[in-house]
Amino acid sequence: MANYQKDGDTIQQKQHSLSNRDSEKHHALLNRASEACDMLKKHIENDNIIRLISHNDADGISAAGVIANAIKEEGGQFHITIVPRLKPDVIRDVAKEKYELYVFSDMGSACIKQLNSLKSDVIVADHHQPSTHKPKDNLVHVNPHLFGVDGSREISGAGSSYLVVRDMGKKHLAYMALIGAFGDMQCQNRFTGVNQLILKDGQEAGNLEIHEDLKIVSKTQEPLFKSIAYTLNPPLPGLTGSLENSQGLLEKMGVSYGINFIELEDEEKDVVKDELVKINPQIFGDVYSVPREHPVLRNLEEYSAILDACGKNKEYGLALSIILGEREEPLDKALKFQKSYRDNLTKGFDWINREGAQQMNYIQYIYSEDKVLKSIIGTIAGVGMSAKILDDNKPILGLSRLHKDIKVSGRATRPMVTCGVNLGKALADASVNFGGQGGGHDIAAGAIIPYEAKNQFLHLVDQIIESQLNS
């Protein structure tokens, strides 16, 4: 009994010191962000136009958005460019411009060496694996990994960017950081770590709310069977990606499948909820919303999906105008892009349902040269696995051909990462061998490789994953 008590005490103490250590890490990250904030404020006060360069996904667009909104509120000006990757020529072009402050968001941490060549002030607000290069004196590098905080789960690029403006009294912009976190799939049931801190900021500011609800998408816009089939997170195995199955299930239940969820009678809503919870209990849970927003943007996860759809269509200006507060026309346009994006996804899910994935020993892959499938192959691969359309025991690579190159999007699962898989490292190491480049997070990563190297590359990744699992 005494021993048991003692053990209990030790465990409690351990947890206590762990959370203390976490708060020390957070504190160090916040301090670094404050340095960046001072730099940003100085340039806004000097009436300098701030040059923002950000990534083209929902996180990158939210990252640019949170900083741009803060600058706008302070009466400053900015110039934004959204790019798919921070390639050397992007940095070279930017270096020729005459801005006093450059802010790289959701990208830049891997390129500190190159960014050191910029003569102006630089802020990098990122959450990807950082390079080990020491930044020059006028570069402030805000990245959770530098302080032992997990950037793949605990904070997004938009989160790092939010921390940069936080000290300017911008807690009402915290929700934009979470839009980015949703884009990078950092909310698995709930937010953790720094995202939790950001969430508290938003609640404190009063514009961000959490309530429990059924987490199917577009409840006010789409007929119920589509809402269900279009729901990717959490996945509904058997229903996600399949209009036919969703319609079939609702018919069997005797629920009107052709009307919007919100138009159902309360009893019908409960029947649907109970049935979906049986398939995936996570389908009912916390929903994060900004009640004052336009109905289709109110739910942060759906807001993120709309930005993502714009990004996937290379409609970066449109996505930015939405995050900067424009509604009506831009929003209608964005919803049209989302519709066609969802149609494409449905085609993609039909494809993997039919064909499955190519199996290797330690990885699996899907490959397409089809124009439509190419743009969505990463999502198809990832959701295909989580919705159990594909085997979820091996990491998956989605490969698509771009002229002479192949674009690779890799996805793993949390259990795989726990067993040692680090896709970011695997893709970086493998692509370098063929003159390509790659990297990212342990759980999701990407690469570009020459087309001729396709088979050798796949074999090398297969071997690297094998050795990661065995070390």
Residues that bind Mn ion (CB under 5 A): 59, 106, 157, 184
The residue (of 296 and 447) whose beta carbon lies closer to Mn ion is: 447
Do residues 270 and 224 touch, judged by C-beta distance below 8 A? no
Instruction: Give the span between the Cα atoms of 357 and 382, in whole angstroms.
Output: 12
Neighbours of 374 (CB within 10 A): 17
Do residues 46 and 75 touch, judged by C-beta distance below 8 A? no
Min. distance of Cβ 60 from Mn ion in angstroms? 6
Q: Kindly report the CA angle at 382 between 376 and 386, in degrees rounded to 5? A: 135
Do residues 454 and 390 touch, judged by C-beta distance below 8 A? no
Cβ density class 114-143: b for 16+ within 10 Å, e for less: bbeebebbbbbbbbbbbbeeebeeebbbbb
Residue at token pair 């801005």: 99
The residue (of 437 and 463) whose beta carbon lies closer to Mn ion is: 437
Contacts of 12 (CB under 8 A, 6+ apart): none
The residue (of 154 and 184) whose beta carbon lies closer to Mn ion is: 184
Min. distance of Cβ 186 from Mn ion in angstroms? 9
Min. distance of Cβ 94 from Mn ion in angstroms? 20
Instruction: Give the span between the Cα atoms of 35 and 336, in whole angstroms.
Output: 41
Instruction: Give the span between the Cα atoms of 233 and 385, in whole angstroms.
Output: 12
The residue (of 121 and 184) whose beta carbon lies closer to Mn ion is: 184
Q: Report which residue's Cβ sits closest to Mn ion.
A: 59
Cβ density class 230-248: b for 16+ within 10 Å, e for less: bbbbbbbebbbbbbebbbe
Min. distance of Cβ 107 from Mn ion in angstroms? 8
Min. distance of Cβ 276 from Mn ion in angstroms? 29
Strand segments (E) across 426-469: 437-440, 444-450
Min. distance of Cβ 184 from Mn ion in angstroms? 5
The residue (of 417 and 453) whose beta carbon lies closer to Mn ion is: 417
The residue (of 43 and 55) whose beta carbon lies closer to Mn ion is: 55
Min. distance of Cβ 198 from Mn ion in angstroms? 14
The residue (of 54 and 240) whose beta carbon lies closer to Mn ion is: 54
